[in-house]
Amino acid sequence: MTVPAMVWIGGAPGAGKSTIARGLARRADLPLHPVDLWTYAHLERLPPLRPLAEDLAKGPLYAAGAFADIARLRVELVFADVRERGLGDVPAVVEGPQLFPSMADSVPAAVWLLPDAEQTRRAREERLAHADDPAGRARLESLLARDAVLADLVRREALERGRLVIEVPAEPDWPGITAAVEDALGVQPGLQPGEELSRQRQYENLAACRQGRLWQADIGLAELPPYPFACECGTSGCAATWEATPDEYDVRRDQGWLTAHPAC
């Protein structure tokens, strides 16, 4: 399968991948493609998977292997998803732990962020604090053990293949880490400001709506907490966001492009 234009920020959970990818995409007018926003869409296209709890119950080594097996399948779906966006030569900033160095021969611009155990725990606990997810809390320790195995796997594969890994300590220097990621990925051509940029930001917002609603239904969440939607003004370098629920976003979208600051 031909790989579409992309740069990929991979690595273990809690390493700041999402924040760094979002900042890079906004500053450089690049399409943003967080793999997590396509999780339920991928489940519809994958063979039936074992429940996560079953994999975790068999221990961290087994759970990490199961994650890697699923990741190999999902990477191909990510390539297809990015291709369907019709971006041409403009690379998408793809962010997610699914790409391992051993899978990245056709993705020359990639970097992996590996947090230490304390940073991973902090990140997972912060996510749990925003939603009533008893099942997620119950499997926290098992997930952290699996995450440590995955981080070691990425580190080993990267060393074997000469790929770049950036270690994220318990007290990260985020500006320095961000600069290192951007140096590794290089300068890329961005989207044309105006309607083209607006259209891609709206595409990303609609993916966030779909994923949020499906996650809500999956875990039986009574109400979704607000989360950030990207401004769709089409202005170069715009990084404004609007905190809202999917229902609130739909109301704003009916009025035209979402504008998230007065200057739009």
Q: Tokens 């996560």, residue?
A: 52
> Do 52 and 120 sit in the same domain of this protein?
yes
Count up the domains in the chain and report the number.
2
**Which of 147, 167, 185 delimits the end of a domain?**
185
**pLDDT on residue 262:** 67
Q: Which residue range(s) make up the domain with 125?
A: 6-185
User: Which phi and psi (to 5°) does residue 10 adopt?
Assistant: -115, -170
DSSP string computed for 47-101: PP---HHHHHHT-HHHHHHHHHHHHHHHHHHHHHHHHHT--TTSPEEEE-TT--G
**Which of 185, 206, 233 delimits the end of a domain?**
185
**pLDDT on residue 128:** 58
**pLDDT on residue 200:** 97
d(CA 120, CA 5): 30
d(CA 189, CA 175): 22
**pLDDT on residue 143:** 87
**pLDDT on residue 152:** 93
- Does 260 fall in a domain? no
> Do 205 and 179 sit in the same domain of this protein?
no
CB 204 within 8 A of CB 167: no
- Does 176 fall in a domain? yes
112: left (phi over 0), alpha (psi -120 to 50) or beta: beta
Q: For the chain, first and last CA: distance in Å?
A: 40
CB 233 within 8 A of CB 221: no
pLDDT, block means (10 residues), the chain with 264 residues? 89 88 96 96 93 93 96 96 95 96 94 87 69 65 90 95 94 93 89 96 97 92 91 96 95 91 62
Count of residues in the chain = 264
